[in-house]
Amino acid sequence: MEIRQFYERVIILVSERPQLYDKSHSEYYDHQVRTRIWREIANTIGFPVTAANLRRRWTCLRQQYLVERKRFASAAPGKPLPDATVRFMAMMAFLEPHINEQTRQLYRKMKSQLQIFGHQQQIITKILSKLNVLQGKHL
């Protein structure tokens, strides 16, 4: 498994478990439940990684998403981003409702920027559709 595939798999598995990112979820603050979930993900990921290491990697992914959001929101209009960045942003977009208001304002700006990037918007739509299908949701 390539590292890119590993991170994509991590993002999908975490997105299916709101206990790990949704502060309003009843089990979010239950340390034992969250630890058990990280172990489950580590065991099913198909990559030799411990639950603690996986959690650290997820924290880095989440922080990178926040950094990319800011960079994307302040990007010059019409300047396309690398497809890998767009793909990453689309996959991590499930976190948006769980980010505080200040960062949500950046997201709104980012969304308006996305409308400028024609073909990349199509890529994002396809990725989000695939994620929703994988999670059992249909657009």
> Where in the chain are the domains?
3-134
Question: What is the rounded average pLDDT of the residues 56-78?
Answer: 83
- Top-confidence residue, 107 or 45: 45
Inform me whether the pLDDT recorded for 135 exceeds 70. Answer: no
- Top-confidence residue, 19 or 71: 19
Cα 89 versus chain centre, distance: 7
The pTM (predicted TM-score) of the whole model is 0.69
- How does pLDDT run across 97-124, given as a tens digit for each residue? 888 755 555 556 666 555 555 556 666 6
Tokens of 47: 């990559």
DSSP state of 109: H
Inform me whether the pLDDT recorded for 138 exceeds 50. Answer: no
> For residues 39 and 21, is the Cβ–Cβ distance under 8 A?
no
- How does pLDDT run across 1-44, given as a tens digit for each residue? 688 889 999 999 999 999 999 988 999 999 999 999 999 999 99
Phi–psi pair at 116, nearest 5 degrees: -80, -25
Neighbours of 30 (CB within 10 A): 13
